[in-house]
Amino acid sequence: GTVKKIAVLPGDGIGPEIMEEALKVLRKVEDQFGHSFQFTFAMAGGGAVDRVGNPLPEETLSLCQQSDAVLLAAVGGPKWDNNPPELRPEQALLGLRKSLKLFANLRPAVLFEGLENASTLKQEVVKGVDLLVVRELTGGIYFGEKKREQLEDGEQATDTLVYHEREVERIVRRAFEIARGRRKMLTSVDKANILESSRLWRSVVNRVALDYPDVQVEHVLVDNCAMQLIRRPADFDVIVTENMFGDILSDETAMLTGSIGLLPSASLGEGTTGLYEPVHGSAPDIAGQGVANPAAMILSAAMMLRHSFGYEEAATAVEKAVRKVLADGHRTADLAGPGELAVGTEEFGDLVVEAM
Amino acid sequence: GTVKKIAVLPGDGIGPEIMEEALKVLRKVEDQFGHSFQFTFAMAGGGAVDRVGNPLPEETLSLCQQSDAVLLAAVGGPKWDNNPPELRPEQALLGLRKSLKLFANLRPAVLFEGLENASTLKQEVVKGVDLLVVRELTGGIYFGEKKREQLEDGEQATDTLVYHEREVERIVRRAFEIARGRRKMLTSVDKANILESSRLWRSVVNRVALDYPDVQVEHVLVDNCAMQLIRRPADFDVIVTENMFGDILSDETAMLTGSIGLLPSASLGEGTTGLYEPVHGSAPDIAGQGVANPAAMILSAAMMLRHSFGYEEAATAVEKAVRKVLADGHRTADLAGPGELAVGTEEFGDLVVEAM
Ligand SMILES: CC(C)[C@H](C(=O)O)[C@@H](O)C(=O)O
Ligand SMILES: CC(C)[C@H](C(=O)O)[C@@H](O)C(=O)O
């Protein structure tokens, strides 16, 4: 078979540790399913700022552009929090999203067996939660014109939220396609009572909906959605929304099941290239201690197997293995209850490999 | 004493029913504390669109401008959802906020005795929740330039988020003052890693903070805040943020305690004029049935007594009475458990008057 080229960006904080476990699992996938991967490491984020003064060095970007997929662990940390915008670790993310044209961010939130009680929400409320936020990732206020001006009577700052109907249509179509392969319910989130961009968004959703008569669509205002996610999270299937609303709602969603350490994400473009990263951050406070939870990173690798390579069987095998390890009661420190014995990062990775 | 002039806007849906109960309580306040109120009714919202083709008729606006305070019950309903923007009920709200310069929206969320179990969050998580969202209400993307253009390759829509440092400073100062009268903790929410307006916001907060050394300040990114509200809501005291983030987070907050039917809000300007309204909507599905919960409207009236009139004693008396009725186990339909006997709108109002 062909060799898949994977750009590996371990990044900052716990990044390198959890990445190691994901690679271990991918090596097991090579053995077990006869696939082959070529891993190339590169720097990104705060470490890259420190070493070469650029969160997304030219070599890293071109490596990613030439790869079949990108695995990114985590970037950022307090050390760089007061840097000027262009020297902040998250520029690596923003730059990759924009250059690789990764307009579709997929963030699944599911309740894992054995972790029904990890949430701050009541068990009966989170029971059955299985939703997916599809967030537009390369447009909107993230990438619109910005300015800061000194006026006569003080400073003024401006950000611009722009959407072209083409940008809306491609993310909305992607969401409809995904909903079709799931429970066939799509919630489109906007603020159409205030924003012109939301009114355009809503009209595109209504137009595209005609091509998907089998999918049930509802429009929900963003403020109401923030409420309903807490009130009845299990009722949602696929949620599609613009960049900033998606940023907020996908993080809210990530907290619903109480196990953010388990949540992967995929950022996809038109082709099969994709960037895969955990939802959680770089957790500098526990970096280097071997206690970080590598599950979200491993599950991100599984999403890569599915979405970029079409290795469905291998993807499912990895996901099942992670679920089994959790269902068997193994817990990293972030999930262990008081008095429970926690497994380390490496041990968790080994258990997943064993379970495969 | 002076007669306080109150503009009364019952609005749409359950608005008129719950307003009736708030007025009943205010009449009791007149008797009991020797204050006097002059109520003048006016139309606003969908009803006003139907009758005069304007959600905020000129007479209504000028009445409000000449009043000491405005009580508004609720506007909106599916009937007007597809109207063009200028004929939508919420224009009444936006118009009033802007014309009366009500830049500070206060939304308290507290856990009420007897309702510890109403939330979808676990009891131990919502225990002690007592937070206040202070939302900027007359600036930002709500009021910036909007446009929709037909380009050669399709439509494009633009919204503009603008903040002047003066606008930021006045809301931030208000929040610091309020925090000083509470637990002295202020969480400022922004998206400073992406938005220029947030960077201005953050710098103003840091500058104003020097005048309030007794208040502990933290900056939290909006996506992270959406998470933390679910993870540890009781840790928050005062949250201050810009208009759109405040819209989303205050609704999320309203859902935390599970009793949105109990939550009041105040919108204040520089002087003592204010607009007081429940956080919940017009609930057209139960309108006219006498089952709506009037508590949030009554508590909004209490906020008016405090913030616009300085009638602290009366305000506290009303709040205590509502709490007592709830603690005694009386429940309107929205809060009644299965098999529990619910009290109606009018009966709830009577119980509050009795409890005073
Ligand atoms: C780090 C930040 C720029 C980023 C975003 O806002 O998109 C992050 O919050 C995310 O959701 O991936
Ligand atoms: C009705 C709508 C315009 C309004 C807003 O977005 O401000 C509402 O959601 C609110 O929070 O008062």
pLDDT in tens, A69-83: 999 999 999 999 889
Q: Which residues contact A166 (CB under 8 A, 6 or more apart)?
A: B153, B154
Q: Is A252 on the interface with B (CB under 8 A)?
A: yes
B141–A161 C-beta distance less than 8 A: yes
Q: List chain A residues with CB under 8 Å of B196.
A: 146-148, 157-159
Residue B256 Ramachandran class (φ > 0 left, ψ -120 to 50 alpha, else beta): alpha
Q: How far is CA A181 from CA A175, A187, A214, B314, in A?
A: 10, 15, 11, 58
B199–A157 C-beta distance less than 8 A: yes
Question: Which residue does chain A place closest to B146, by CA atoms?
Answer: A196
The domain limits of chain B are: 1-102+264-356, 119-256
A164–B151 C-beta distance less than 8 A: yes
> pLDDT grade, residue B85 (50/70/90)?
confident
| pLDDT value of residue B338 | 81
Rounded Cα gap, residues B117 and A97, in angstroms: 43
pLDDT above 90 for B259 = no
Q: What is the pTM assigned to this prediction?
A: 0.96
AA identity, residue A3: V
pLDDT above 70 for A239 = yes
pLDDT above 90 for A114 = no
Residues A151-166 have a mean pLDDT of 97
| pLDDT value of residue B1 | 67
> pLDDT grade, residue A259 (50/70/90)?
confident
Rounded Cα gap, residues B71 and B304, in angstroms: 8
Give, in degrees to the nearest 5, the angle at Cα A315 between A314 and A317: 60
Q: Which of A12, A68, A142, A237 is catalytic?
A: A142
| pLDDT value of residue B113 | 87
Question: Distance from A145 to chain B by nearest Cα, in Å?
Answer: 10
User: Which segments of B58-181 are extended strands (E)?
Assistant: 69-74, 104-110, 130-136, 146-151, 154-164
Q: In whole numbers, what is the pLDDT of chain B averaged over residues?
A: 96
Question: Which residue does chain B place closest to A165, by CA atoms?
Answer: B155
Interval B264-319: pLDDT, tens? 999 999 988 999 999 999 999 999 999 999 999 999 999 999 999 999 999 999 99
Q: In whole numbers, what is the pLDDT of chain A averaged over residues?
A: 96
Active site annotation includes A191: yes
Q: Do domains B1-102+264-356 and B119-256 have the same CATH topology?
A: yes
> pLDDT grade, residue B256 (50/70/90)?
very high
AA identity, residue B44: A
Q: Is B145 on the interface with A (CB under 8 A)?
A: no
Question: Which residue does chain A place closest to B167, by CA atoms?
Answer: A156
The CATH T-level fold of domain A1-105+260-356 is: Isopropylmalate Dehydrogenase (3.40.718)
| pLDDT value of residue A337 | 82
For B121, the closest of A90, A120, A161 (CB atoms) is: A120
Residue A13 Ramachandran class (φ > 0 left, ψ -120 to 50 alpha, else beta): left
Task: State yes or no: B254 annotated in a binding site.
Answer: no
Q: Which residue has the tokens 């009644």?
A: B336
User: Best interface-test mutation with B: which of A193, A241, A335 has the largest number of B CBs within 10 A?
Assistant: A193
Interval A319-331: pLDDT, tens? 999 999 999 999 9
Between 3.40.50.10490, 3.90.480.20, 3.40.640.10, 3.40.718.10, what CATH number should domain B1-102+264-356 receive?
Answer: 3.40.718.10
Residue A139: DSSP 8-state: S
Residues A274-297 have a mean pLDDT of 95
Using CA positions, which residue lies closest to atom 3 of ligand 1? A90
Q: What is the CATH number of domain B119-256?
A: 3.40.718.10
- Any atom of ligand 1 within 6 Å of the Cβ of A90: yes
Give, in degrees to the nearest 5, the angle at Cα A120 between B181 and A291: 105
Residues A45-53 have a mean pLDDT of 97
pLDDT above 70 for A210 = yes
Read off φ and ψ for residue B234, nearest 5 degrees: -70, -15
pLDDT above 80 for A313 = yes
User: Best interface-test mutation with B: which of A196, A219, A255 has the largest number of B CBs within 10 A?
Assistant: A196
> pLDDT grade, residue A1 (50/70/90)?
low
A195–B146 C-beta distance less than 8 A: yes
> pLDDT grade, residue A260 (50/70/90)?
confident
Using CA positions, which residue lies closest to atom 10 of ligand 2? B247
In this structure, the number of other CB atoms found within 10 A of the CB of residue B218 comes to 11
AA identity, residue B356: M
Among A residues 167-196, those touching chain B with beta carbons less than 8 Å apart:
191, 193-196
Q: Which residues contact A193 (CB under 8 A, 6 or more apart)?
A: A221, B85, B88, B90
Residue B317 token pair: 């008396």
